[in-house]
Amino acid sequence: MDYLQSADLLPANQSGFRPGHSTETAVLQVLSDILVAVDRGDVAALILLDLSAAFDTVDYEILLQHLQTTYGISDVATDDSSVGDISSH
């Protein structure tokens, strides 16, 4: 995570796994964006999707290759024994 932050690879609105950010900050940002749009007279809509099962279909070999070629991340996910070996999924 330190690498992603130091290389400025995380979107400013990314709340997950960041100190000082939570689902509460994400919800407040969405609410703020909606209220600003309504105040301007714009139409605001919110669509929520449950993607909790989406990661069951991830090809981890492709994911690891993409992380390495795009972001220069290699073997980071497998270094911490508490995380486990992502390539074994």
pTM of the model: 0.49
Answer positive or negative: Cα dihedral of 78, 58, 13, 51.
negative
Indicate the average pLDDT of the chain: 79
Contact 15, 22 (CB under 8 A): yes
Cβ neighbours of residue 71 closer than 8 Å, sequence gap 6 or more: 4, 7, 9
- Residue 39 has what pLDDT? 97
Q: What is the C-alpha to C-alpha distance for residues 41 and 5, in angstroms, rounded to an integer?
A: 36
- Residue 20 has what pLDDT? 77
Over residues 53-61, the mean pLDDT reads 84
- Residue 83 has what pLDDT? 45
